[in-house]
Structure formats: structure tokens, C-alpha cells
Amino acid sequence: MLEIKFLRENPEVVKAGLRKRNYDENALQVVDKAIKVDADRRQSQTSLDKLLAESNQAAKKIGALYQAGDREEADKLKAIVSAAKGEIKNLEAHLDNTEKQLEDILLSIPNIPNADVPFGKGEDDNEVFQAWDKPLPELPESAVPHWDLATKYNIIDFGLGAKIAGSGFVLFRGKGAKLERALINFFLDEAEKAGYEEIIPPLLVNEASARGTGQLPDKDGQMYYAEKDDLYLIPTAEVPITNIYRDVILQEEDFPIKLTGHTPCFRREAGAHGSEVRGLNRVHQFDKVEIVRIEHPSKSYEVLAEMLDHVRGLLDKLGLPYRILRLCGGDTGFTAAITYDFEVYSAAQKRWLEVSSVSNFETYQSNRLKLRYRDSEGKRHLAHTLNGSALALARIVAAVLENNQTEDGILIPKVLVPFTGFAVIN
RNA sequence: GGAGAGUUGUCCGAGUGGCUUAAGGAGCACGCUUGGAAAGCGUGUGUACGCCAAAAGUGUACCAAGGGUUCGAAUCCCUUACUCUCCGCCA
């Protein structure tokens, strides 16, 4: 969430950011509301602190009086302090209430988009940041989408996924499973080469972690929730990995922090149907390798560019046609300051599929996480957090299967062959 | 799942209602001392939110978390989390 101090001092900057997210004048009032509640909060605290200071002093005096044997005077003072307790209780309740109200308001305000983020309402307004400038693959008439290839070669079974778990769950088998595992290992090895430390985190997280990275409260309902244990299945490795640094004060020399991890990702994604979501296009559980960076604010945009390069490299090596979108204000996620989406061309479906989303959250997550660093003068500042998919597996599999299909089978990209142990699925 | 013992600052560790402003030690930083270092000595050493134009300063809260008792709680009571030991179960 945004820092109240920033909001108080720069209300117009915040409003300009919210306009980019298509807030109308009426909705913008949330900013003034926050400032008003904050003023109330500070005033309440000042009064409460004063009362508490007085009562602390009185308590001390009572102790001294008892020790001096002056019970009468002590009892008199006791009566006075007791009488003031009601007012303290009231003020405490009021302060508590204002603090909660302020937090609710702040949680409802999304991150301020970076200046580079284009205006726009939805996905149609996203800017093509880097187009695919070579010809798109041409497949023969006989080419089929990946769900048909999956059945033809018996490598992915959607029916069994549905039988065992439900619609939206898939089962990989044989060479399909091996391909999935090969991609995971390839992505992890590439991340390791780029200097990322590999993490295997818990796949279930507590509420504090889900709040820390911003899945709660705004994305409640998109996560699977284990009620008996009050735990959430992770929608992305970003959640457990970034939360390593919840409530942490780093030293400047701890930067750069580069972490990666493969996890299954669980998403409820209610309400989608049709060909858009067929096959692997949208599933409840998919594998993903994530890269996470914790950075000094002065470095975060440099690092963002570096992350884009890393993802480009992966797709180049796999030989998949891709383009990069810069998301517009209306499509940029709640917690991100800027997001670049990578889309891969899936030639049989003739569709672009999102396979990576790389974002700089600036201080929005770190403020929730209380993730800070100490500068050379010993002052504390919020760090910047960034993350990106490198990459999301299911859709990559779809594109690899479709784009590389031939009469004689599906050709495995060269870089993957050492990981799969076979060069063709037939 | 059952029984018991714990959780104090950067770390170790004392602390059973007011002489605690959290003892003592270690670490760290700075200074003195030294040819230089070690030892020794001295000083300082957290987080959050207020007040103040700001710095200086100052107030409040924080002894796992949240509630409660009391004029006053690290200390007493309740709930929860986590750690350890033993038993049970288990890949």
C-alpha cells in the first residue's frame, strides 16, 4: 500500500496516478478521505499520549507515596487516576478505530502507475512495447491445437484431470510429463546462471504472507483456502519468496537480492468458459518458475530491464515467437507500478498467450511487508520489490507443442533435448 | 493427537506487582591509550507512531502475538502462535 506520509504530502500526484487507472472525480475522493482520517488519527494520538503520560506520572507518585507510608494521599490520587480511565479507554477505542479505517482506505488505493504506463481502459489499450518483427510460423492445413496433439500422442490427459480433481485440472503423462519437467529444469538452470538463488518454499501460506504481497484483501476469492488451518494455496511463488523479507531491515550491502523458485501455482479463476480457456490456456494448477528481486530504489528500473532481458533470452533459446506488451493503466495489476507482459504466439490456435508478467512494485509491497534497508547514514527506507515469471509452464508447453508439430511428430527445441532425453514426441 | 517445559534487546542472559529508566556480559560504532595492534578505559548502541517549520529535543507504545486484572504488569489471569522434550501416528 502507499505510505500515508507520501499521500499526505503529494495528494495531487496520487490523484494523477489514480486517473491513469480510470478513477473518476467521485472515486478520487478516497484520497481526501484518507488525509482527513489521518488528521483525525494523529490528533487522537496526541491527546491519548498526553493522557497516558499524566497517568504514568500519577502511578509513579502513588508508588512513592505507598512507600513513604502516606496511604491517604495515595488513595486520593488513585481515585483521580481511576476516574480518568474511562476517557483513556474511549480515546484508545477511537484511535484504534481511526487506524483501522485508515488502513482499510489505504488498502483500497492501488499503486501509482509509472510515468511510462500508457492511459487505457483494458487489455485492448495495452501498448506493444516490442513487436515480433520476423514472420510468424506458418503451419500446414493439417496442424491442430495442442489439446488435440495432447490426445494424439497421449502426453496430456484433460479428462483424467477432471476425473481426479475437476475441470481445469490436467494430468501430464509420459513424454508430456518429461517435457514439463525439462522446462522447469531449463528455466531454473538459466536463472541460476543469471545469479539467482533457488528456493523451494512452502506452497501454503498464512494470512500475513498473503497480505504482505497484496493478494489479500483485494484478490481474496482467487486463492484456494484451507479453512481448517487458515492457510492459502499460493497463486504464485512470488508470495512465499517475497515474504522471506517480511519485517526485515536490510543493510545496503545486502543488495542485490536475486531469488528464483519453481512452484505449482493454484488459481480459482472463477467464471471463464469457452475456447479461450481450452486445453492449457487457463488451468487451476500450473507450474511456474518465478524470479524475485529486492532492490535499492535507485536500481530498480535498471533491474527491471535486466529481468526483461532474462525472459527474452529464455524465449529466444526456445525459438518461440513473442511480443512484449506494456500494460496500460486500466490493465496494470493493483500492486504494480509498471508491468510488462510477454506473449507467445501459439501457431495452431493463432493466438498470443501470456506466459510472463514482469513488474516493478516499487515500495507498494515493501510498505505492506515492512521491508526496509538502512542507508549509509543509518536512516531507514523502503526497498523496491520486483518479480516476473520466467516462465509460466502450461502455456509454454501449449506453444511448443503447436509450433513444432510436423507430420512425423513434435520436435523438441534443441536446448531442451539434454533435459528431456528425447528429440521428438511421436 | 496427548503430556510437560519454554519464547526477554544484535546475541547470551538476569528479572514472581512500584528503587527496572530491562541488571550483567558479549558484539558493534566512536573516542582515549599505543610505533601499530591486542588488552584496558570511556561514551554510545532497537522499532513504530506522535509533537516541533526542521534539527536538537520530547511524548507514547513495544519483553512471541492478542485480550484481561491493577493507580501501576516483562512479572498475575485468559486465548493463540511458535520452539524444545517425551508418547502416539506417519512418508
Q: Which residues in range 15-34 of chain A are in contact with strand B, contact meaning CB within 7 A of any of its atoms?
A: none
Copy the grid coordinates of residue A85: 480511565
The integer distance in angstroms from the CA atom of A376 to the C1' atom of B34 is: 30
Is the ipTM of this structure higher than 0.95?
no
| A215 alpha-carbon distance from chain centroid | 7
- Looking at residue A113, its pLDDT comes to 97
Residues lower than pLDDT 70 in chain A: 270-275
- Measured at the CA of A71, the angle between CA A70 and CA A75, to 5 degrees, comes to 125
B87 C1' to A61 CA distance, Å: 53
Residues 61-90/A with CB within 7 Å of nucleic chain B are 62-63, 66-67, 78, 81-82, 85
Within 7 Å of a protein beta carbon, the nucleotides of strand B are 18-19, 47-51, 59-61, 71-72
The pLDDT value given to residue A374: 87
| Whole-number pLDDT of residue A228 | 83
Tell me A140's DSSP state. P
Q: Which residues contact A347 (CB under 8 A, 6 or more apart)?
A: A136, A137, A138, A139, A143, A399, A402, A403
Residue nearest to nucleotide B46 (CA to C1'): A249
Q: Which fold has domain A4-108?
A: Helix Hairpins (1.10.287)
Measure, in angstroms, how far nucleotide B79 C1' is from residue A96 CA: 21
Please report, rounded to whole angstroms, the spatial distance between the CA atom of protein residue A132 and the C1' atom of nucleotide B91: 49
- Domain range A123-425, its CATH number among 3.30.930.10, 2.170.190.11, 2.40.10.10, 3.60.150.10: 3.30.930.10
Distance CA A392, CA A389 (A): 6
The pLDDT value given to residue A270: 59
Identify nearest nucleotide to residue A247 by CA to C1′ distance: B47
- The distance (Å) linking the CA of A57 with the C1' of B6 is 35
Torsion of CA A260, A402, A277, A206, to 10 degrees: -10
**Could you tell me the three cell numbers for A238?**
512470488
State the amino acid at position A380 in one-letter form: R
The gap between A73 CA and B69 C1' (Å) is: 23
How many angstroms separate the CA atoms of A216 and A376, rounded? 34
Q: Which three cell numbers stand for residue A373?
A: 534497508
- In whole angstroms, B32 C1' to A53 CA is 40
Task: Map out the domains of chain A as residue ranges.
Answer: 4-108, 123-425
Strand B and A10 CB separated by under 7 Å: no
Q: Which nucleotide is closest, CA of A54 to its C1'?
A: B59
Q: How many residues does chain A have?
A: 426
Nearest in space to A257 (alpha carbons), one of A228, A206, A292, A232 = A292
Distance A216 CA to B66 C1' (A): 21
Same fold, A4-108 and A123-425: no
Q: What are phi and psi of A10, to 5 degrees?
A: -135, 55
Closest nucleotide (C1' vs CA) to A63 is B18
**What is the distance between the alpha carbons of residues A415 and A420, in angstroms, rounded to a whole number?**
10
**What is the pLDDT at residue A75?**
85
A56: Cβ under 7 Å from strand B?
Answer: yes
